[in-house]
Amino acid sequence: MVATVRHITVDCANAYELARFWSEVTGWPISDQDEPGDAEVLLEAPAPMPGMLFIQVPEGKHSEPRTGRRIHLDVIPTDRTRDEEVERLKGIGAAGYEDHRKPDGTGWVTMADPEGNLFCVERSAAERA
């Protein structure tokens, strides 16, 4: 028997606001059972993918984004290029962290969400083809 990942859980300071950001990133809706001020907020992913669960915790985030973090998300744009997606994400509140793009078009961009959690933006499937 194997286990199934039900949620990817993110500890945060403001569950609803961070869920709103990631809803914009993924296009996944916030559960209709959640509202501003809730301490736990779920993004509902299409089956069979795990949802993202945001849980408010009392401790603050680390000042250095890489400190204490051992996992992050990689996102791939579905209908735009990596560079267009980076610009779109900046427009909804993400910040650039490290640029690993190479002159030949390969590579990725590491970004931080509004609470400083790192994630990477890779090339789209079309760019990889």
Mean pLDDT of the chain: 91
List the domains of the chain with CATH numbers.
Answer: 1-58 (3.10.180.10), 71-129 (3.10.180.10)
Q: Which long-range contacts does 62-67 make (Cβ < 8 Å, 24+ apart)? A: 62/116, 65/97, 65/112, 65/116, 65/117, 65/118, 66/118
- Cα distances (angstroms) measured from residue 113 to each of 3, 53, 92, 106: 29, 15, 9, 23
pLDDT-derived band at 5 (thresholds 50, 70, 90) equals: confident
Task: Tell me the pTM.
Answer: 0.84
CA 110 to CA 129: how far, in whole Å? 22
Q: What average pLDDT does this structure show over 51-59? A: 90
- Residue 19, pLDDT > 70, answer yes
Pairing of strands 51-56, 73-75: unpaired
Residues 94-121 have pLDDT tens digits of 999 999 999 999 999 999 999 999 999 9
Amino acid (1-letter code) at residue 23: S
What pLDDT is attached to residue 71?
A: 78
